Amino acid sequence: MKYYGKTNEYFEIVEITDKNQEILQQSKKDELSLLWFGEGEHQLTVDAVRHTFHKNQIVCLNEFHNLEINRIGTLQLLRFNKPFYCILDHDQEIGCKGVLYFGSSNLPILNLSDKDIEILGAVWKMIYLEMEAKDGLQLEMLQTMLKRVLILCTRIYKSQESYQELDSQQVNIFREFNFLVDVHFREKHTVAEYAEVLNKSPKTVSNLFKKLDKKSPLQYIQERRMLEARRLLRYTEKSISEIGYEIGFNDIQSFSRFFKKHEATSPSDFRDYK
């Protein structure tokens, strides 16, 4: 079921099976997706990394994720574009920047409890019912329901990622760091550069990550560069030297050493392996 608004708003909710799985690969610019996995086996390759998903897990994908379907059972898809609901504009309300859709190199996977399933399931049914309405209130109602889904998913993800260990200011710093890395990873490669933008010391940023028992902030930066390297190697025809330069390396040797350190194979071997 699809909604098209008068000013390019787009919203879609649909059950995906192996019969219509091609819908998953039809995402366009400025579109965000949420996949709720149901019965069956689910294997998807996201940005050249294969993932196995289980029943009642949710994954959030943005327009930059490259998706390949290896095996799929049944799942529910929500997809919407920026004109329908802009995550960044509503960030203070739902806290999604750096959490659900702009979380640097980490693929956000949510594990639902029985209570989560009950609450989300009720909202899902309401969305299906509202998609059948054809009055002037439909857009606002659908936006409200999507917002509720995103709030619920944000709470679930924050809970399982130990965000409760931080106060609201610390959460904002962590989210903003992730978002800044996603935007500036090509030209900013040190923790100090991001700390300066945040008006914090590098030590403050590093201690925050330790409090969450996370990878170091430098690892986040390096993994985001690796994510882009894998994407470009697998999904473009750019030369290895061009790819290295695009993510901030001045020569192919430095890029090759960096890639092999993190991927345990050379860029050329990674590109050749299918």
Taking the C-alpha atoms of residue 175 and residue 169, their distance in angstroms, rounded to an integer, is: 10
Write out pLDDT tens, residues 34-73.
999 999 999 999 988 899 999 999 999 988 888 899 999 9
Confidence of residue 129 (pLDDT cuts 50, 70, 90): very high
Write out pLDDT tens, residues 191-229.
999 999 999 999 999 988 887 766 899 999 999 999 999
Higher pLDDT, 135 or 258: 258
Phi/psi region, residue 48 (left: phi>0; alpha: psi -120 to 50; beta: rest), is left
Confidence of residue 268 (pLDDT cuts 50, 70, 90): very high
Query: Is residue 10 within 8 Å of residue 4, measured between CB atoms?
Result: yes
Taking the C-alpha atoms of residue 246 and residue 89, their distance in angstroms, rounded to an integer, is: 29
CA distances from 261 to 130, 132, 256, 258 (A): 51, 53, 8, 5
Please report, for the chain, the start and end positions of each structural domain, with discontinuous segments joined by +. 2-161, 168-272
Provide the pLDDT for residue 74: 96
Confidence of residue 112 (pLDDT cuts 50, 70, 90): very high
Judge whether residue 189 has pLDDT over 90: yes
Per CATH, which fold does 2-161 belong to? Jelly Rolls (2.60.120)
Provide the pLDDT for residue 226: 93
Question: Over pLDDT 70: what percentage of the chain?
Answer: 91
Per CATH, which fold does 168-272 belong to? Arc Repressor Mutant, subunit A (1.10.10)
Query: Is residue 146 within 8 Å of residue 85, measured between CB atoms?
Result: yes
